[in-house]
Amino acid sequence: MVSTRSSSAAVSTPAPRLKSESSSFSSSSPPPPSQSSAIAPPQPPTTITKTRRANGAATASQKQAPWSHVPSTVTLLWLAVSLPLVVWDTGYVLLRPRTMPGGNLHWPLWVPYKLYGEVDHIYGFKQWNLGNGFTAAQGSLNVIETLMYLVYIGIWYRNAKPAPVTGKRLNGHAAGGSAVTPRATVGRSVLTGRAAALAVLIGFSAAVMTVSKTVLYWLNESFSGFDNIGHNPAMRLIFLWIIPNGAWLVVPSYLIYLFGSEIVDGLTKASGPALRSSVKSD
């Protein structure tokens, strides 16, 4: 009986867990990752890095070839036609009354102004006798405008060099904003660098001046009730006033577009790399 109780107690008692099992289990599992081994987030560029990038972009932009300008065919043809006419018109206006009918300078150079003074009284005896100085003021501005166009031509004539052949990319932009030399300008001299920028700026300013004066001339008639031209029949007004004066609106407006496109393209080219570098560094 005693032996039976002891054997049953031995069976019911659980066997103790060996240390070797627990130690082997713990050694086989990988250790948890430590905080020091985690990948650090990228740090923002330092001020020195930004400065180096900006300096590199500036150096690259400085190495670019200078901006170029080639006068368009429209520009040269317009100046060849308009400048002599403007000088002729300004001479008539500023030398009145000697250039008017009966004056000692009227024949032979200003004979056509006898008819035009009858079409537009601002050029005739009506406004002259009233002491209207609007035309003389316009003529004075014509002198400045003409000198600006002559300076533009002078800069191109004195500083231009032979242009590249068709299809070769210019360093800057040809007239009209094209980066490739137009066929119409093949063999025409090209301006580069500061001379090109100065010529385009002067040409643009002169064209704006031409359009502004012409618009003012038309507005003067409109706000005065067409006092100087309202007496003309329709066909006479169209062919002797609207078409001739309209040319000084249409063509110079196109020149503003040409020169303005070149200015915008040149500024974009000059500031583009530095601007992109500044945006990236920020």
Q: How many domains does the chain have?
A: 1
Within-domain flag for 219: yes
pLDDT in tens, 97-128: 999 999 999 999 999 999 999 999 999 999 99
Q: What is the pLDDT of residue 266?
A: 84
Which pLDDT score, from 0 to 100, does residue 5 have?
A: 44
Q: What is the average pLDDT value for the chain, to the nearest integer?
A: 79
Contacts of residue 169, defined as CB under 8 A and 6 or more positions apart, other chains included, come to: 179, 180
**Residue 213 belongs to some domain of the structure:** yes
What is the per-residue pLDDT for 97? 97
Which residues span the domain enclosing 246? 65-93+137-281
Residue 53 lies in a domain: no
CB contact set of 103 (below 8 Å; sequence gap of 6+): 96, 97
pLDDT at residue 72 greater than cutoff 80: yes
What phi and psi, each to the nearest 5 degrees, are found at residue 228? -95, -20
* CA contacts within 13 A on the Cβ side of 92: 24
Within-domain flag for 23? no
Q: Which of 7-21, 74-88, 237-251, 267-281 has the lowest mean pLDDT?
A: 7-21
Rounded to 5 degrees, φ, ψ at 31 are: -70, 150
Percent residues over pLDDT 90 in the chain: 58
Q: Cα dihedral sign for 139, 143, 145, 150?
A: positive
Q: Which pLDDT tens digit goes with each residue over 224-272?
A: 999 999 999 999 999 999 999 999 999 999 999 999 999 998 888 877 6
pLDDT the model gives residue 271: 78
Residue 83, domain member (yes or no): yes
pLDDT higher than 70, residue 44: no
Query: Which region among 98-107, 165-174, 219-228 has the lowest average model confidence (pLDDT)?
Result: 165-174
**pLDDT surpasses 60 at 216:** yes
